[in-house]
Amino acid sequence: MFKQLTSVLIGILLIIVVITINKSVYIVDETKQVFVTQFGKIVRGPINGPDTEDEEGKEDKAGIYFRIPFVQEVHSFEKRYLEWDGDPNQVTTKDKLFIFIDTYARWRIVDAKLFFEKVRNEAGGQQRLDDILDGEARIVVAANDLVEVIRSRQREAVVDETEVLDDESQLKPFQQGRSALAKQVLDIAGPNLKEEFGIELLDFRFKRINYSQDVRLKIFERMITERARIAMKFRSEGLGEAAKIQGAQQRELKRIASEAYLKQQQIKGKADAKAVDVYAEAFNQSPDSREFYEFLKTMETYKNTLSTNVTMILSTDSDFLKYIKQSAPEKE
């Protein structure tokens, strides 16, 4: 019985020793800076912080350290750069337009003691950044027109030489731009954060800027009108080019038809001349053949000219009626 009780006591004692040793030893990582507090008061630190020497001049770096168990408490803070991501906020610009701004920043803890005394932990630091950076961003945006917030560099609209933009389509010049406004927030909020909370604000940016619903509708309507005007211009230019092509096509067709008709007449003329030569050679062999040729041509003329719908007034001695008069019976 005594041996069993002794074993239990030894086991309990070992557990207490292990817990005590575990509570006595702590490890400081390279990416952390650490404070040790005793009853809420800082008794050591920052370890591995920007100032790595303690009050006695000993250098404190990352490694293994000891503390009084159950009395002293270890508080660690991030040594690396931290990210702050703000919530989207609706802000009114100087020219009375509503926009949504989404911001972000980079920060780090440079005075861990002041940071611990004022905000206690990193979550508290994020909350202070929410209050200060959101407020300063609102103030800066509200003091400037919309063009200053959305534009970052001066440039001219690229348009066709013949195109003239209206006043709303022109790119308005600005004085500062989005980058300068972000720097204003950084310059205003940075010193206050460092002095009051031990936070160094490394960078501040406008991550996204979006129009409110009313402003978006107006912009979309203007974009639709602008695109419709450009489409109408392209259509009119296309119709003009189509008219030019059709006109050139008609001229080409007339030219081809004229050249074809000319060639047809030339071939026909040559054929007629050849036919005349053949007829002349055939019917010019004797007086009878010439008389017969004259008779044939006269008959063809009668056939082509005389009909019931034609009225001709000729003298009695006309050569046109020579063969008709010859065929008429003589009066006794």
Average pLDDT per block of 10 residues along the chain, 332 residues long? 74 77 80 85 76 52 81 86 91 88 93 88 92 93 88 62 50 78 94 93 92 80 86 90 92 92 91 81 73 77 74 70 63 51
Q: What is the pLDDT of residue 199?
A: 94
CA–CA distance from 172 to each of 151, 177, 210 (Å)?
Answer: 9, 12, 19
Write down the residue that tokens 């949504």 correspond to: 100
Q: What is the pLDDT of residue 55?
A: 47
What is the rounded CA–CA span in Å between residue 125 and residue 116? 9
Residue 322: CB atoms within 10 A of its CB come to: 13
What is the rounded CA–CA span in Å between residue 45 and residue 111? 11
What is the rounded CA–CA span in Å between residue 165 and residue 157? 9
Write down the residue that tokens 């019917």 correspond to: 283
Domains in the chain and their CATH numbers?
Answer: 2-78 (no CATH), 82-211 (3.30.479.30)
Q: What is the pLDDT of residue 42?
A: 80
Identify the DSSP state of 309.
Answer: T
What is the rounded CA–CA span in Å between residue 87 and residue 95? 23
Within 13 A of 304's CA, how many CA atoms are on the CB side?
7
Nearest Cα to Cα of residue 25 among 71, 68, 54: 68
What is the rounded CA–CA span in Å between residue 106 and residue 66? 33
Nearest Cα to Cα of residue 122 among 66, 160, 83, 148: 83
What is the rounded CA–CA span in Å between residue 120 and residue 104? 22
Q: What is the pLDDT of residue 107?
A: 95
Q: What is the pLDDT of residue 210?
A: 87
Q: What is the pLDDT of residue 147?
A: 84
Burial class (CB in 10 A: 0-12, 13-18, 19+), 189: buried
Write down the residue that tokens 């195109």 correspond to: 163
